[in-house]
Amino acid sequence: MALAALVVLPIGLLFLLSGLIINFLQAFFFVLIRPCSKNMYRKINAHLAELLWLEIVWLFDWWAHIKVDLYIDSETLELMGKEHALVICNHKSDIDWLVGWVLAQRSGCLGSTLSLIKKSLKFLPVIGWSMWFTEYIFLERSWSKDENTLKASFENLTDFPMPFWLAIFVEGTRFTQAKLIAAQEYAIAMKLPVPRNLLVPRTKGFVAAVNHLRSFVPAIYNCTVAIPKDEPLPTILRMFRGRSSTVHIHVTRHLTSELPQTDSGIKQWCRDIFVEKDASLELHKSRNTFDGIESHSIGRPLKSLFVVTLWSCLLLFGAVKFFEWCSFSWGTIAFCALLLLFVVILMQILILFSQSEKSVPLRSQTIHYKEDTLNQKLIP
């Protein structure tokens, strides 16, 4: 824990100061450029956002040395980053979103990667503000409130000037064992296939996305994230401690034009995909790989390392000039102490937001289904 604290402070300070610079530039171009040309602003902002996101990618790649094995056919791999795409994925770990960023960075569209995320994240300094400038879609998790937000946000993407990925975690929340039990009980009650390795998908947002995006988004990337059984589950705290792990991700491409035209048909298509995904995860547990699919190691490009080094040198130079300009005083010491305290608090908030939500375990007496009945209905 002490090592994590020693790492969090300098990395947090780097991320905060560089992020505030990025936020200032994003706000500047938002006011100056966007009223004249929304697409020019988007192109500039994509480069600015990438300069910030690459610092987190550096943590993943170069500090923690987390390895990603990508299971994908060559045709889909070639198309990634060259087309608009809707991305759906199971929500296995705390850093699934970061795995998505890593894939987007390798595909050249990190700065134009978007997601549906909870509204509270918008108010986080640096990362939340940058997401707002980058047109992430913030939701309140209430369909009556979110329906119009989704419609307006999807329509706003029709003229997006570069390939973008829009990520949707259809399960709506991160996977935990307690949530799995609740999902299995719900599936039995609703006479749905009962999952073993993921949650029952919540399809309203996905249906809305397909209906509004299919005219200009040609593909859906169905991503399945799995952790090899001999590898630890990666988390933000493990990353800060420099603890390595391995992530397997299987990607299949589906044409949006081939999806059903009705809401009920799209809903069923999504459920069927998750049934297949669950079966694939079950096989992965026994075989520790996605069988029959070509595996690609995505490597560790130098770009994020270069960006972090550049930011470090720039901010170190600024710090030296700051202390040369400021006379030594209790006011200076107090300012520095408050800055460091703010960094610690901010990083703690970011870590807490990234961690899996703690579900209250169901009491045994609330489970009304016999184990043998459950086993009979589980997906084979």
- For the chain (380 residues), the mean pLDDT of every run of 10, in chain order, is 60 87 97 96 97 94 94 94 96 87 95 92 90 95 89 95 95 87 93 93 94 96 94 86 91 96 96 95 93 86 95 87 73 74 72 53 38 42
pLDDT reported for residue 255: 97
Print the SS3 string covering 225-286. EECCCCCCCCCHHHHHCCCCCEEEEEEEEEEHHHCCCCHHHHHHHHHHHHHHHHHHHHHHHH
Torsion of CA 92, 94, 98, 99, to 10 degrees: -30
Type of residue at 125: P
Q: Are 260 and 175 in contact (CB under 8 A)?
A: no
DSSP 151-202: HHHHHHTTT-SS--EEEE-TTSS---HHHHHHHHHHHHHTT-PBPSSSPPP-
Provide the token pair at 21. 């610079």
**Which CATH code is given to the segment(s) 2-303+356-364?**
3.40.1130
Residue 71 parent element (H or E): strand 67-71
pLDDT reported for residue 344: 72
Domain boundaries, the chain: 2-303+356-364
Question: Residue 111 CB: number of other CB atoms within 10 A?
Answer: 23
pLDDT reported for residue 353: 62
pLDDT reported for residue 253: 97
pLDDT reported for residue 367: 39
pLDDT reported for residue 280: 95
pLDDT reported for residue 307: 95
Phi and psi torsions of 202, nearest 5°:
-100, 115
* Angle value at C-alpha 328, between 327 and 333, nearest 5 degrees: 125
pLDDT reported for residue 322: 73
pLDDT reported for residue 39: 95
Torsion of CA 172, 177, 183, 186, to 10 degrees: -140
pLDDT reported for residue 368: 41
